[in-house]
A = this chain, B = another copy of it.
Amino acid sequence: MNYITIKDVAKRLNLSVSTISRAFNDKYDIKKETKDVILETAKEMGYRPNPMAKKLIQRRSFNIGIVVPEFINGYFPEVIIGAQEILFEKGYQVLITQSNECFETELKNVQTLENNMVDGLLLSISCETSNTEYYQKLVKNGLPIVLFNRVNKDLNTSKVLFNDYKWAFFATEHLITQGYKKIVCLKGADNLSLSHERVRGFTDAFKKHKTIITKDKIIPTGFYAEDGMRVAEAMIKNNDIPDAIFACNDPTAIGAMKVFKKNGYRIPDDIAFVGFTESKMADLIDPPLTSVSQPTLDIGREAAKLLIEQIENRTGSHLPQTVTLNGQLNIRESSVRI
């Protein structure tokens, strides 16, 4: 592509390559006039420094890699937008990579990013990822990494978390105070700590209100609307219908709602719903879905900030920090007793 090199510019101006180099990295003493001439002619000639050569020497790219497990659910895209906002501001460029919830792809992606000499990584692991050996090695080698949302406790890095426990607790308590008795929890992917946190919040809310929760009130479900539908169909088939459902994410809640509505159940009169990680859909469906909204943009922003801090303060010893962000329970018709 870019066939004009620093040598061409040097030749044209009868200067040495080092002088040209200086003009482009204004840290050396260089006569302002020469610099101006150089910059101008360089631009005219269409010269752009070859970043590969630069990276080869400097071992630094001003690129940040983002690794997410999926991005059809709206959540990760928003986090990315938040991160990008901060990173752009600080002069970093962003390379995004998605793994389709596949561990192998995730690893490949990370390696591609390494190959491109990213200065750091914003990472949210796939639900398949339980072996964190490779990441441990990266951390040990000093690659700045910030985990967000999907974290792993074996990895000693900075983390940006959502307070899943607390908001699952509140969401459940909301259902309890509305007077619902038979409340069921649709649990997400088993490998993820956030799933456990949400279930823990659910359980503890019951404990607080002295209700005994039996094991079978927590139903392993999954991520997608189809999973919610499947579970709802099973409930109807078994004629074992709860008063209310606390779903560990919106799509499963919405899928289940659809099935119940189709079968003539009224929401929230016959069965109430609360979702989690509020999606755009929550407010658009009928009835609107009560859900816990996460500060997606802020999660991205915080993660980016932590990462930059770590990158730019590489000399000083780095202490991993954990930032936990708060959300909001948006109460809508799907869970309000009339």
Q: How many residues of A contact B (CB 8 A)?
A: 50
Residues of B within 8 A of A95 (CB): 95-97, 112, 116
Residues of B within 8 A of A212 (CB): none
Min C-beta distance of A264 to chain B, whole Å: 13
Interface residues of A (CB under 8 A from B): 1-2, 50-53, 55-56, 59, 63, 70-72, 74, 77-78, 80-81, 84, 88, 93-98, 100, 105, 108-109, 112, 114-117, 138, 141-143, 225, 251, 254-255, 258, 261, 280-281, 284-286
Min C-beta distance of A138 to chain B, whole Å: 8
Copies of this chain in its oligomeric complex: 2
A204 to B263, CA, bound (A): 40
> Known interface pairs A1-B141, A284-B285. Does A105 touch B88 (Cβ–Cβ under 8 Å)?
yes
Name which residue of chain B comes closest to A99, CB basis.
Answer: B84
A142 to B70, CA, bound (A): 33
Residues of B within 8 A of A94 (CB): 97, 112
**Sample of 17 further A-B pairs with CB below 8 A, known A50-B56, A281-B284:** A1-B117, A72-B78, A72-B280, A74-B74, A77-B98, A80-B98, A93-B108, A93-B109, A93-B115, A95-B116, A96-B97, A225-B280, A251-B280, A281-B281, A284-B285, A285-B285, A286-B286
Min C-beta distance of A111 to chain B, whole Å: 8
A57 to B115, CA, bound (A): 15
Residues of B within 8 A of A97 (CB): 94-96
**A96 pairs with B93, CB closer than 8 A:** no
